[in-house]
Amino acid sequence: MKNITAVIMVLLSLVVARAFAQDSSETAKIQYLIASVEALEGAKFIRNGSEHDARTASDHLRLKFKAAGKKVKTAEEFITFCASKSSITGEPYWMRFADGTTVKSEVFFRNKLKTSAAARARGQEAGQKVP
- What pLDDT sits at residue 98? 96
Which segments of the chain have a pLDDT < 70? 1-22, 120-131
- 78 burial class (0-12, 13-18, 19+ CB within 10 angstroms)? buried
Pairing of strands 94-96, 50-52: unpaired
**Would 66 be classed as within a structural domain?**
yes
Straight-line distance from the first to the last Cα atom of the chain, in angstroms, rounded to the nearest whole number: 43
Q: In the prediction, which pLDDT does 42 show?
A: 96
- Alpha-carbon distance 37 to 33, whole Å? 7
| Distance between CA atoms of residues 8 and 4, nearest Å | 6
pTM: 0.74
- Within-domain flag for 130: no
User: For residue 34, is it within any domain?
Assistant: yes
Q: Residue 97: inside a domain, yes or no? A: yes
In this structure, is residue 131 part of a structural domain?
A: no
Q: Evaluate whether 126 touches 116 at the Cβ level (below 8 Å).
A: no
Query: Domain count of the chain?
Result: 1
pLDDT above 90 covers a percentage of the chain that reads 69
Determine the structural domain holding residue 72 and report its residue range: 2-125
d(CA 37, CA 45) in angstroms, rounded, equals: 9
Residue type, 7: V
